[in-house]
């Protein structure tokens, strides 16, 4: 008789009834609408109907669920984290869709846009009827967003934006793009309708990771928006980095969802697969792998839960989010790689979820801050010395 790592460590009892119910609701949607198709979507390189999927997620209430007002759920950070865990247990691309919609595009508008822009965009985004994307990363500037080349200049009562953004989730299906650009008074954010003349989004092909989500290049060629589209108060990197902290927090939970799925698959396989006349789970080296994987998973869940409770109580500092993102993604990808070895050759087949999760985590490892950047953030706090330059 096998024991799930959650049961082994007594994790379930650490969550409230509401948190457990959210997990079950998200898991049910994934089982009904995503899991039967996810292997094919990954193989095809795109979901069948990303906008329809976004509407389903909106109906469930997970889009911007941790934001207050404007049709958003107003739920706790821990409840949002639990949802992210279940979404990524299905697929990292699914959690990325939700994170970009809620923690990047919606949060940026909710936190920094004018009241009129909030009313214009947020209710539809919460319902999944309006899709958003977040344009910060550029072809030549990822870890150093301060060097971005996208520029917005005033022209009469309007702003005119020129530039390119790269690796933008939801870009080709978005109705509104949050664009960060250099201006004469620092970096500023803009809510740009994607139907604006001069705005184009090109879907990025030939990805070997996050294949079941839409990733795009954004091109802005003389895109003209009114003053109302500009975020009125925030200047500099404070704006985009505040949004990234929200998204990184979701990753702390989500990565453990991928790890959980890989462990569950490897655990089942270990008791069903026989070699040398016995299940491979009866061999010491396989048991060591399962024990080590489960240990790191349990520690990752405890870290995510601690950060969630802390965020709900007092808020999180950026370095605390970095601590969680660095550890949990790094351990999750190692768990998936180890699970792959338990499955042997079957581990590279899309008939099993392990290689898909491992490939996806290769992207999660470097987006929203690379391992190197999060390491240096922690090092700076531990030593008081800035080693970025």
Catalytic residue numbers read 368
Nearest to 373 by CA among 258, 204, 245: 245
Asked if 91 contacts 101 with a C-beta cutoff of 8 angstroms, the reply is no
Measured distance CA(200)–CA(214) in Å, rounded: 15
DSSP 351: T
Measured distance CA(227)–CA(229) in Å, rounded: 5
3-state helix, strand, coil in the chain (%, to 5): 55, 15, 25
- What SS3 state is found at 386? coil
Nearest to 377 by CA among 307, 330, 326, 331: 326
Q: How many CB atoms lie within 10 A of CB 36?
A: 10
Instruction: Name the token pair of 389.
Output: 């330059």
Task: Give the DSSP letter string of 244-299.
Answer: HHHHHHHHHHHHHHHHHHHHHHHHHHHHH-EETTEEGGGSHHHHHHHHHHHHHHHH
Measured distance CA(131)–CA(177) in Å, rounded: 9
Measured distance CA(353)–CA(334) in Å, rounded: 15
Asked if 270 contacts 290 with a C-beta cutoff of 8 angstroms, the reply is yes
Q: How many CB atoms lie within 10 A of CB 139?
A: 12
Asked if 266 contacts 293 with a C-beta cutoff of 8 angstroms, the reply is yes
Task: Give the DSSP letter string of 171-206.
Answer: GGG-SEEEEEEEETTEEEEEEEETTSTTEEEEE---
């Amino acid at each position: 008789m096998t024991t799930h790592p959650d049961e082994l460590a007594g994790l379930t009892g650490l969550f409230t009834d509401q948190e457990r119910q959210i997990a079950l609701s998200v898991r049910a949607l994934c089982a009904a609408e995503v899991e039967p198709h996810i292997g094919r979507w990954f193989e095809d390189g795109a979901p069948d109907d990303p906008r329809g999927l976004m509407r389903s997620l909106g109906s469930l209430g997970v889009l911007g669920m941790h934001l207050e007002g404007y049709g958003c759920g107003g739920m706790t950070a821990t409840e949002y984290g639990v949802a992210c865990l279940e979404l990524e247990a299905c697929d990292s691309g699914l959690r990325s869709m939700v994170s970009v919609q809620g923690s990047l595009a919606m949060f940026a508008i909710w936190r920094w846009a004018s009241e009129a822009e909030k009313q214009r965009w947020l209710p539809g985004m919460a319902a999944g009827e309006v899709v958003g994307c977040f344009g910060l990363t550029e072809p030549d500037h990822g870890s150093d967003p301060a060097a971005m080349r996208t520029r917005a200049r005033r022209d009469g009562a309007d702003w005119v934006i020129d530039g390119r953004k790269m690796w933008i989730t939801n870009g080709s299906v978005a109705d509104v793009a949050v664009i960060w650009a250099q201006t004469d008074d620092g970096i500023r954010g803009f809510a740009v309708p994607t139907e604006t003349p001069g705005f184009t989004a090109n879907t990025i092909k030939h990805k070997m990771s996050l294949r079941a989500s839409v990733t795009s290049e954004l091109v802005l060629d003389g895109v003209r928006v009114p003053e109302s589209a500009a975020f009125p108060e925030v200047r500099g990197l404070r704006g985009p980095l505040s949004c990234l902290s929200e998204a990184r927090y979701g990753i702390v939970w989500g990565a453990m969802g991928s790890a959980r799925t890989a462990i569950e698959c490897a655990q089942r396989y270990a008791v069903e697969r026989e070699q040398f006349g016995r299940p491979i789970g009866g061999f010491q080296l396989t048991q060591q792998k399962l024990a080590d994987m489960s240990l790191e998973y349990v520690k990752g869940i405890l870290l995510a839960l601690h950060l969630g409770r802390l965020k709900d109580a007092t808020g999180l500092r950026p370095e605390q989010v970095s601590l969680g993102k660095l550890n949990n993604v790094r351990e999750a990808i190692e768990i998936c790689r180890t699970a792959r070895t338990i499955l042997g050759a079957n581990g590279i087949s899309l008939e099993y979820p392990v290689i898909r999760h491992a490939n996806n985590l290769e992207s999660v490892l470097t987006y929203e801050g690379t391992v190197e950047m999060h390491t240096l953030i922690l090092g700076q706090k531990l030593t008081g010395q800035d080693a970025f330059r």
